[in-house]
Structure formats: C-alpha cells, structure tokens
Amino acid sequence: AQSVSQHNHHVILSEAASLELGCNYSYGGTVNLFWYVQYPGQHLQLLLKYFSGDPLVKGIKGFEAEFIKSKFSFNLRKPSVQWSDTAEYFCAVKSHNAGNMLTFGGGTRLMVKP
Amino acid sequence: KAGVTQTPRYLIKTRGQQVTLSCSPISGHRSVSWYQQTPGQGLQFLFEYFSETQRNKGNFPGRFSGRQFSNSRSEMNVSTLELGDSALYLCASSFEVNEKLFFGSGTQLSVL
C-alpha cells in the first residue's frame, strides 16, 4: 500500500523567508505526484503536479517541487513566502494507472508572519 | 463556470441512521471522486466514478457506497452511522481521469 509522509506538521515563517516542505512516499512503481493547498475557508486546489519528464516542476504562485526518485521525495519550495501563502499544504501520490485514487499526506500548516 | 457543488453543507445525524450526500461536478466533467477528511486520519480516498462506473474503491467498510448518474452527478451513502463517521466529505471532479482535480467545499457530517 502507498503511504505519504509530511514530516513538518506546523511551520511558521516570516515574510520573505524561503520555504521547503518535505514529502516522502512509499511505493515501488511509477507514480504521479501532487501538491495541493487549502487556503483558510477555501477549497483544496492543485498547486503543481509531476507525471513525467523534468523532475523540477513549477506550479502556481511561484511554487516549485523537485521529484527525486532515488529518495522517494517530492519536496515543495518557494524562495520567498508571502503572508498570503498562509495555508495548509498537502502532498499526494497515486500510481500512474490508478485513476484519481490519491493517497494524501497528513498536511503541513504554514503560517507566514507579516 | 460553476465549481463542484456539494449538498448539504452541514448535516447532523445520530448513530444508526443513514445519510446521503450529493455532489454536482463541474459541467462536462465525467470523473467524480470522494474523500473523507478527519483530523486524525487526514484525507482518505473513498471511491471514484467515471461514466457511471466505479473505477476504484478505497479501504472503507461496505456501509459506504456511492453511485454516479448519467449526468455525472454523484451521491454517496453511509448506512448505520457510527460516531467515527463524523468527518468532512469532499467530492472532486475532473474532465478525464489523470486530469486536474477540482474539489468542492465538502459536506461536514456530525454523528451524535
């Protein structure tokens, strides 16, 4: 069975600080990887996804993630966070042939202090 | 374009009752997935439907069931409710499988 670990449950940063949220998964086959974000009071929405090709994926709002297959990792990064990035971030993985059956990590709550 | 619509937004039931939740996907989307979100277990996949057929099912007891209609609208049903079924139930839709998922606001179910 797949599992996804997000090691940081809560992160507090000041504006302009750099962000890196860790995500590790366990699955031996070909995977598709995702980061979703949930802003306060809003729906879950897709930040970025990796299916194949360049392991460095760029998403919306200046976020990027790097797929490192040998480390089973898909860490999310942003060089300079803003107060509006305060949200909960979820890493998710699915087998490439598993439809839309995603396995989510436990989430990381990010608070950016102005 | 309207987003994914879930009704009702809030629901309170007692143990032993059954409940039906509804999800209207974005117009044109044929894939609908359901997830359960709880503070303890996080987001867990329930099932996925595509063109009225269940494609995948998560690791939930048979009390949890669902269906999809010809207009792609979907319902999920939970019978013989237990306290542990209290959760936010999220529906997500996509045009095709493996495409971007759009989530609804969810139905918050409380079982007393």
Phi, psi of B57 (to 5 degrees): -135, 135
Q: Give the nearest chain A residue to B57 (CA atoms).
A: A101
Tokens of B100: 């971007």
Name the percent of chain A lying above pLDDT 70: 100
- DSSP states of chain B: ----EEE-SEEEE-TT--EEEEEEPPTT--EEEEEEEETTTEEEEEEEEETTEEEEE-S--TTEEEEE-TTS-EEEEE-S--GGG-EEEEEEEESSTTS--EE---EEEEE-
| pLDDT, tens only, A38-75 | 999 899 999 999 999 999 999 999 999 999 999 999 99
Residues from chain B that touch A99, judged by Cβ atoms under 8 A, are 31, 33, 48, 50, 55-56, 97-98
Tens-of-pLDDT digits for all 112 residues of chain B? Answer: 679 999 999 999 999 999 999 999 999 999 999 999 999 899 999 999 999 999 999 999 999 999 999 999 999 999 999 999 999 999 999 998 777 899 999 999 999 9
The residue among B8, B14, B101 whose CA lies nearest residue B50 is B101
Q: Chain B: nearest CA to A36, how far in angstroms?
A: 10
Task: Provide, as residue numbers in chain B, all residues whose Cβ is less than 8 Å from the Cβ of A106.
Answer: 42
* Structure-model confidence comparison of residues B5 and A114, the more confident one: B5
| Cβ-defined contact of B43 to A104 (cutoff 8 Å) | yes
Q: What is the pLDDT of residue A60?
A: 92
Tell me if B44 and A104 make a contact (CB, 8 A cut-off).
yes
Comparing CA positions, the residue from B64, B62, B90 lying closest to residue B78 is B64
Provide the shortest C-alpha distance from residue A71 to chain B (in Å). Answer: 24
- Residue A29 is predicted with a pLDDT of 83
Give chain B positions within 8 Å (CB) of A43.
3-4, 102-105
**CB contact (8 A) between residue B56 and residue A100:** yes
Element (H, E) at A13: strand A10-14
> Do A46 and A89 touch, CB atoms closer than 8 A?
no
Among chain B residues, the shortest Cα distance to A40 is held by: B105
Would you state the pLDDT for residue B99?
79
In this predicted structure, the answer to whether residue A1 has a pLDDT above a threshold of 80 is no
Q: What is the DSSP letter of A69?
A: G
Phi first, then psi, for residue B107 (nearest 5°) are -115, 120
pLDDT computed for residue A83 by the predictor: 96
Segment A94-112, tens digit of pLDDT: 987 788 889 999 999 999 9
**B43-74 as b/e, with b when 16 or more CB fall inside 10 Å?**
bbbbbbbbeeeebbebebeeebbbebeeebbb
pLDDT at A86 over 80: yes
Query: Cβ B45–A44 below 8 Å, yes or no?
Result: no
The Cα of B45 is separated from the nearest Cα of chain A by a number of Å equal to 6
Whole-angstrom distance, CA of residue A112 vs CA of residue B44: 27
* C-alpha atoms less than 13 angstroms from C-alpha of B82 in its C-beta half-sphere: 6
Q: Does A56 or A7 have the greater pLDDT score?
A: A56
